[in-house]
Amino acid sequence: MSDDMTMTSQSAHTALPGQERYVAPIEETPLHEVDSVDEAAPAASMWADAWRTLRKNPLFIISGIMILAVVFVALFPQVLTNQDPNYCTLDNSLEPARAGHPFGFNLQGCDIYARVIYGTRTSLSVGVLATVLVVLIGSLIGALAGFFGGWIDAVLSRLTDIFLALPILLGAIVVLQMFRTSTSIWKVVLVMALFGWVSTARIARGAVMESKNLEFNTASTALGSTPTRNLFRHIIPNSLAPIIVVGTTSLGTYIVLEATLSFLGVGLPSSTVSWGGDISDAQSVLTTDPMVLFYPSAALAITVLAFIMMGDAVKDALDPKSRTA
């Protein structure tokens, strides 16, 4: 009986023809210098790898320079012009460029160059504030839905579906028209956040659902950490990569949205210098003086392009599937 079992065991471990395995002796495969590990070096992280990828990406460098230039213009407009953007006189209506006024004047006699420079602050402020609120609201709702699941996920997901069915531009127009008597920058920002958090919430929900099943969450729970602590200390920080990507790309979208609302006359008040307002004012002289429309449109296009390029570069760096070994 034992002999039969021994023979069966030996035959089970006998390789079939063509499937023999060869294991080289250790002395024939010594370790080389390339196999050594620097134990004193800091441990690599996703963010460190992403930064190494970003700083070698020409798209990131170009977009970074463009964004820094836009931020500098927004913070220090007085360095680039000493003209008052709100000083308008009909004596200068549609006058061509001259010394101190390189872009000429618009229909109301305002200096176009000064308005383009000062409009950078308004458009960039609205875009940044709206993006921050959208990311915070969307990340919180998506994280709660993805982490707790059950009825919480069902309720928040249905709420997300309701807002997803509402076009952001149409919803913003309706709400701003309802409160048109007192339009301000903060009101425009809040309306954008009200309708814009949906895509961020869906991405955050998926990222949290993936992260909560990883080993670090199980280990943290085994050490006595509460679910809420796990969510805010471990899971959300490890789910930030896709959220940062969508936030970077969305910033340009909200700058365009503010310009669109101002162009339609329901955005910022006419007393506020903005690219959208200047584009709206320039449409009446488009056929006779197209350059009045060109300058604010070009500033808007360059700014949006810079943030879209930055979003693409960040996506390539934070997406492991896009990186080659």
Q: Residue 201: which domain range?
A: 46-322
Structure tokens at 2: 């034992």
Does 12 map to a domain? no
Q: At what angle do helices 198-211 and 240-264 cross, to 10 degrees?
A: 180
Q: Do 70 and 119 touch, CB atoms closer than 8 A?
A: no
Name, of 179-188, 284-293, 299-308, the range with top average pLDDT. Answer: 299-308
Does 69 map to a domain? yes
Does 171 map to a domain? yes
Does 314 map to a domain? yes
Statement: residue 4 has pLDDT above 70? no
Q: Which string of DSSP letters, residue by residue, matches 302-313?
A: HHHHHHHHHHHH
| Tens of pLDDT, residues 194-213 | 999 999 999 999 999 888 88
How many domains, the chain?
1
Percent of the chain with pLDDT over 90: 37
Structure tokens at 304: 């949006």
Does 196 map to a domain? yes
Helix (H, G, I), strand (E, B) or coil at 191: helix
Amino acid identity for residue 249 in this structure: T
Does 95 map to a domain? yes
Amino acid identity for residue 261 in this structure: L
| Tens of pLDDT, residues 133-151 | 999 999 999 999 998 888 9
Side-chain-facing half-sphere of 43: CA atoms under 13 Å = 2
DSSP conformational letter for 110: B
| Tens of pLDDT, residues 172-193 | 998 888 877 666 788 899 999 9
Q: Do 308 and 249 touch, CB atoms closer than 8 A?
A: yes
- pLDDT confidence band for 325 (50 / 70 / 90): very low
DSSP conformational letter for 234: I
| Tens of pLDDT, residues 234-274 | 888 888 888 988 888 888 899 999 999 988 888 888 888 99
Average pLDDT across the chain, whole number: 83
Residues 6+ apart with CB under 8 A from 194: 171, 175
Statement: residue 34 has pLDDT above 70? no
Does 15 map to a domain? no
CB atoms within 10 A of CB 25: 6
Does 36 map to a domain? no
**Residue that has been written with the tokens 């070009």 in this structure:** 298
Amino acid identity for residue 145 in this structure: A
CATH code, domain with 221: 1.10.3720.10
| Average pLDDT over every residue of 98-103 | 90
Q: What is the pLDDT of residue 22?
A: 63
